[in-house]
Structure 1
Amino acid sequence: MTLFFAALLFGIVFCLSPGAVLAETLRRGLNGGFRPALLVQFGSLIGDAVWALIGLTGLALLLGHETLRLPLTLSSAAYLAWLGVQSLRDARRVGVVAGAGGEQNAGAFASGAMLSLSNPKNIVYWGALGGAMAGLVEGVPTLRDSLVFFAGFMMASVLCCFFCAALVDWLRRNASPRWHRVSHALCGVVLLLLAGLALRGI
């Protein structure tokens, strides 16, 4: 149970930390509401699960190799920059795109999955977290230990999906159009900064 709750805590911190997925959730949710925000979050679960399995099985060392890291970083930076431009565009069109739920639903799941899968920082995070798990058990972690840790992390991830989507939907319903514009602009700047930081790490 200690291992499970530790994984639960790590998962909450991981999912609620500011980053590209949270910015994209906010961007989609402010335009389309709860459903597109939730779809982005659900899409990110694919990446979360993949990186968790990689980290827990020690494959993070393999993916840390330059030949794999470089193209992953470049594709991630390009996608982040594209989303940043989209968000800045949305900031100018708040009155036009508001309520365009169908458009926001389209591609929301794929967007969340792409952001999560292409984030090179997850390699480092899960490489470190795999080591942290080893410190929580006696001796070498067993398959059962890894499964318990994975279950705790994924449970936290699913709960955070609904929390984030509900929070963004509440903001959409209760915030002024001016706040929406500012939020979209900030999301765009954050996404572009993340793209720049990704390239800087090459």
Structure 2
Amino acid sequence: MGLFFTYMLAGLAIAMPVGAITIEMTKQGLKNGFIHGWAVGLGGMTIDLLLIAALYLGLASFLAIPYVQIPMWIIGAVFLIFVGYDSIRNADKDITLAGEKPTKSFFASYRNGVLVAISPGNLVFWISVFGAVLSDSYDITQPSTFLMIGTGILTGILLHDIGLLTIVSITRKVMSQTMIKWVSIVAGIILLGFASYFVYEFIDAIKGII
């Protein structure tokens, strides 16, 4: 049980830094409430779960190959450009104030979470930082140890998401529609900034192999 709590804290630490997923969660939480913000987080956790499964199956070495990682930069940039542009273009749409029923579907928010999570930063992090830890923890005679570590990490991320969205839900009650609109625009600009960084890394990686 101690192993579970250790990696739960590790998962909480993973989720603390402000990244693209946090930005999108906050935006959706303000525009459409706790459930939609959480849908984004669940989308991100779906990718995290798939990555843990990939590491469990021994695919970390394949994902660590430079020629496999390079396309991730441009793919991640395309997804973030899509989500960032949509955030700015529809900044004044689908806004529901506290007490109103959201018009945006749960699946649309979940999809955004998945798209944002499929980014080089997220993939490389799992491979480089936790790949070795998770791989070393796998014992063919005791697969439950690996499962406990992976579950602990995902639980930590989930606790972070719930805590963040609780704060967002409280803040949302005192925000006007105009304020939420501008938060959405700023969030979109930040996501486009992440996309620009990914494009830069893609070009830099291409130069390194030419």
Q: TM-score normalised to the size of structure 1?
A: 0.82
- 1:122-176 CA-partner distances (Å, limit 9, x unpaired): 3332232233457xxxx86523331221121122223233223322222221234
Letter in 1 for 2:53: L
Contact 2:94 2:103 in 1 (8 A): no
Contact 2:24 2:113 in 1 (8 A): yes
Letter in 2 for 1:37: G
Where in structure 1 are there 5+ consecutive unaligned residues?
A: none
Letter in 2 for 1:150: G
- Written as runs of structure 1 = structure 2, the 5 A alignment for 1:1-202 is 1-56=1-56, 58-91=58-91, 93=92, 97-99=94-96, 101-103=102-104, 105-116=106-117, 118-127=118-127, 128-132=129-133, 141-142=138-139, 143-177=143-177, 179-202=179-202
Q: TM-score normalised to the size of structure 2?
A: 0.79
- 1:64-88 CA-partner distances (Å, limit 9, x unpaired): 2244323332221011112212222
Letter in 2 for 1:115: V
Letter in 2 for 1:102: T
Using the alignment, how far apart are the partners of 2:76 and 2:104 within structure 1?
23
Using the alignment, how far apart are the partners of 1:151 and 1:27 within structure 2?
27
Say which structure is richer in helix: 1
User: Cα offset for 1:177?
Assistant: 4.4
Using the alignment, how far apart are the partners of 2:80 and 2:149 within structure 1?
30
RMSD, aligned α-carbons: 2.5
Identity within the alignment, %:
22
Count of equivalent residues: 194
Moved over 6 A (4+): none
Using the alignment, how far apart are the partners of 1:145 and 1:113 within structure 2?
27
* More off after superposition, 51-60 vs 25-34: 51-60
Where in structure 2 are there 5+ consecutive unaligned residues?
A: 203-210
- 1:6-26 CA-partner distances (Å, limit 9, x unpaired): 211121122232111111112
Using the alignment, how far apart are the partners of 2:112 and 2:168 within structure 1?
17
Contact 2:80 2:194 in 1 (8 A): yes
Using the alignment, how far apart are the partners of 1:126 and 1:55 within structure 2?
9
1:56–1:10: structure 2 CA closer, same or farther, 3 Å change rule? farther
Contact 1:58 1:130 in 2 (8 A): no
